[in-house]
Amino acid sequence: MIAILMAAGVAMFASLATTRVLMAIFKKLGKGQPILGAEDRGPVQHMSKQGTPTMGGIAILFSAAFGWLVAHLRDGLPFSDQSMIIWVAVFVLATIGFLDDFLKVQRQHNRGIFWKKKGYITFGICLVLTWWLHAATGVSETLSFTRSDLPGITFTWPLFVIWTALMVWGTSNAVNITDGLDGLAAGSATFGFVAFTVIGYWAFRNPHLYHSVINPLDLAVLSAALGGACGGFLWWNAAPARIFMGDVGALGIGTALGLLAVTTNTHLLLPIICGINVFEAGSVAVQMGVFKASGRKKRLLLNSPIHHHFEQKGWPETTVIIRFWIISAICVATAIAIFIADFTDMQNLARLRR
């Protein structure tokens, strides 16, 4: 538990400091986030945010990695293969996001070079990374809900790689879609990392029931570090934001959430933990579906993702953010409750067998 608290605390303070430094650097360079205008059906009410420093996700990820490393100064916490692969995956996807952010800032247009190809590129990378996770570690190859044997459907390794790549790819893109209001993505991600910290620590304390989770304490420390870093970043990213996380942060954070679900055997619990991200990404999919089905004449929402729809309905931005945070907290609390309820059932069943 001390290592978890250490990772979260160090990452939070490091994120507070490094985000402030990044803000000063980007402000001095004189270029910031471009905002889509009315001609692109963008959120015109956000045009005042044009030029706000972006790419703050750099501070989140490096601060989290620093907190995770510092926690390993304590004896008894080994570096795990799974955690190290997660970090590689996080920084690889974050690099794609950084390139896109950099080009947006340079061109002063909200669509980078990877606008139409980014989905294919990131999915291909996810396939390689999940194959590596499968080949190099003892990750369970079953479809899981709260543990590896529930429902326990065994995948062939190619199907497992494709399935987990879709999980990671989908989560990274869903977090990216959510990152449209000040603090919305960072706040909801903090809740998600709290959930995986609890799950990892619970598995560490009960190895007889979660024996298929490899080095769960290190996974809990990693999750705590990312949660702490997101919390520190929120100090500057809360409305009115003085810096945005950018694609570099959103893709890195989403990748971490997806891979934590893979390594803690909570595949089907992930959509509940990241319920607000599913809601946001789903709103875009539904909007596009209705638009195309109507011959490009009708839209279900006033704007998408759905947080912009509620803004168009007259909700103040802070109202949308706080209400969506509440939804995210409810989703995370529900997921943790389901996980603990299943744990209680397993404990009771074990007692009966004795």
Q: In the prediction, which pLDDT does 47 show?
A: 65
Half-sphere exposure of 6 (CA within 13 A, CB side): 14
Which residue in this structure is represented by tokens 């606008």?
115
Q: Which of 46-60, 228-242, 272-286 has the lowest mean pLDDT?
A: 46-60
**92, 52, 282, 28: which is closest to 183 by C-alpha?**
52
- The reported pLDDT for the residue numbered 42 is 56
Does 236 score more than 70 pLDDT?
yes
- List the structure tokens of 120: 């294919």
Per-residue pLDDT, averaged over 56-85, amounts to: 94
Q: Tell me, what's the pLDDT at 279?
A: 96
Report d(CA 303, CA 118) in Å as an integer: 22
Q: Are 100 and 114 in contact (CB under 8 A)?
A: yes
Residue 184 pLDDT grade (very low, low, confident, very high; cuts 50, 70, 90): very high
Q: Rounded distance, CA 313 to CA 302, Å? A: 8
Global pTM reads: 0.94
Greatest mean pLDDT among 64-78, 286-300, 303-317, 330-344:
330-344
Say what the pLDDT of residue 245 is.
Answer: 94
Q: Which of 231-240, 295-304, 326-335 is the least confident region?
A: 295-304
Q: Is the pLDDT of residue 40 over 60?
A: no
User: Do 255 and 172 touch, CB atoms closer than 8 A?
Assistant: yes
- In this prediction, residues 157-172 reach a mean pLDDT of 96
pLDDT of residue 37 exceeding 60, the answer is: no
- Give the residue from 74, 66, 65, 67 showing the smallest Cα distance to 2: 74
The reported pLDDT for the residue numbered 45 is: 63
Q: At what angle do helices 184-205 and 2-29 cross, to 10 degrees?
A: 160
Q: What is the structure's pLDDT at 351? A: 80
Distance CA 66, CA 124 (A): 28
Q: How high is the pLDDT of residue 173?
A: 95
Q: Which two tokens stand for residue 349?
A: 């069943």
Q: Which of 194, 188, 198 is nearest to 146 (CA)?
A: 198
In this prediction, residue 304 has a pLDDT band, given cuts at 50, 70 and 90, of: confident
Q: What is the pLDDT of residues 77-135, one digit of tens each?
A: 889 999 999 999 999 999 999 998 888 888 776 666 566 677 889 999 999 999 999 99
**C-beta atoms surrounding 348 within 10 Å:** 10
pLDDT band at 349 (very low <50, low <70, confident <90, very high): confident
Provide the mean pLDDT of the chain.
91
Q: Could you give the 3-state DSSP secondary structure of residue 131?
A: helix
Q: What is the separation, in whole angstroms, between the first and last Cα of the chain? A: 30
Closest among 338, 289, 281 to 307, alpha carbons compared: 281
| Residue 50 clears pLDDT 80, i.e. is over it | no
What does the domain layout of the chain look like in residue ranges? 2-272
Q: Does residue 321 carry a pLDDT above 70?
A: yes
The pLDDT of residue 107 is 75
**pLDDT of 35 over the 90 cut:** no
Summarize the confidence of residues 19-29 as an average pLDDT. 90
Query: So what's the pLDDT on residue 46?
Result: 62
Q: Is the pLDDT of residue 266 over 60?
A: yes
pLDDT value of residue 291? 87
